Structure 1
Amino acid sequence: MPAAFPANDPHGTMRASDADRDRVADALREAYAEGRLDADEHNERIDLAYKAKTLGELSPLVSDLPQRHITSPAGAPPSVPAMPADYAPGSKITAVFAEQKRGGRWLVPSQTIAAAVFGSVTIDLREAVLTQREVVITANAVFGSIEIKVPHGVVVRDEGTAVFGSRSGSDRNAAGDVPITPESPVVVLRGMALFGEVSVRYPKPKKLGKFLGR
């Protein structure tokens, strides 16, 4: 990664804040979602971002990425590395007498609203990139169904309600092969299942035979 601060530049020794580290992490997640970083590069840089103590340590992590989503912090001198701007408000996924799916590699905003009215919605997070550690999905199923697919290692907290409907799966197989830590991503589910269903699906556990090479 190229260096962004010249030698002896005093701004490189400026202490980084939690907000600085989060902004750099957001830029890295967006770059990964766009295919500019592979999984190993993304993971390595995210790890370095949250360990960084100074702006000089954060700067090289984003200095080789496009600047179109970048703004400088208020009051920052010109030589301070640019930081990504805030993300736009959340997205909406609606299915009325229809079926809607969102999956693959996509950026999950801080808030997503999903509505299934006599229809079905599938939200697949297995290859998605969360824009922050905790995101909120408001899932309203009215005579319909909403299914959220998540990878192991993601904590799902269901704060919604069900009226003549069902909400299930948020507390099953959350860890799998990935241990849960204080840094684990969190998906908060809200909304209502009214004569409908909201469910969470984790990957199926690997069969014992596969571990034994059968």
Structure 2
Amino acid sequence: MTAAGDSHELDRLREAAQARLEKGVGDGKLTLEEYSEQAAIVWSRDVDVERLRRLVPVEAPTAPVSRPQSTIVGIFGDTKRSGRWSLAVKTLALLVFGDVKLDLRSAVIGARTSTITLVTLFGDLRVRTR
């Protein structure tokens, strides 16, 4: 393999290892101290491809895939989406005599663009992005 090929593979492995470390600390499997120590190894100048291969699974992580369509309904009650949830490519929110609250701050958005259509009759609607 050429030096340029090694460099590209090293970059890919570093990014995959970083993603694995972030997931591990997010899932509570790593402490912040363990995360910092391992991230320092991943991004050190002296790390080699073989050491990174041991840290990273063989298959590359896949990007999240959004569902094509989703419907959220609120009738005589409240409907809420918050925390970690997947935003579909097209989302329809129907509201009749109730409230719909959509919190997009922690939503997983896998598509480049998503469309949310909101229809309300005698109710409140809140969409949070920040």
Who is 1:98 aligned against?
77
Larger radius of gyration: 2
Who is 1:118 aligned against?
97
Deviations 1:130-151 (A, max 9, x none): 1124211111001222210111
Deviations 1:111-160 (A, max 9, x none): 21111111110001122221124211111001222210111xxxxxxxxx
Question: How far is 1:88 from its partner?
Answer: 2.5
1:137 and 2:116 are equivalent in the alignment: yes
Give runs of aligned pairs for residues 1-214 of structure 1, distance below 5 A.
8=1, 35=27, 64=57, 83=62, 86-151=65-130
Partner Cα separation in structure 2 for residue 150 and residue 85 of structure 1? 20
What root-mean-square deviation, in Å, do the aligned CA atoms of Structure 1 and Structure 2 show? Answer: 3.8
Normalising by structure 1, report the TM-score.
Answer: 0.33
The answer to whether the Cα contact below 8 Å between 2:66 and 2:86 also exists between their aligned partners in 1 is no
Deviations 1:36-59 (A, max 9, x none): 9x9xx9xxxxxxxxxxxxxxxxxx
Partner Cα separation in structure 1 for residue 117 and residue 83 of structure 2? 20
Question: How far is 1:86 from its partner?
Answer: 4.5
Normalising by structure 2, report the TM-score.
Answer: 0.51
Partner Cα separation in structure 2 for residue 147 and residue 130 of structure 1? 18
Give 1:138's aligned amino acid: T
Does the residue aligned with 1:87 lie in a helix, a strand or coil? coil
Question: How far is 1:83 from its partner?
Answer: 4.9
Bigger fraction of residues in helix: 2
1:85/1:132 Cα in 2 relative to 1: closer, same or farther (>3 Å)? closer
Give 2:77's aligned amino acid: A
Consecutive unaligned residues in structure 1, runs of 5 or more: 1-7, 14-27, 42-59, 65-78, 152-214
The answer to whether the Cα contact below 8 Å between 2:68 and 2:89 also exists between their aligned partners in 1 is yes
Deviations 1:1-20 (A, max 9, x none): xxxxxxx39xx79xxxxxxx
Partner Cα separation in structure 2 for residue 116 and residue 124 of structure 1? 16
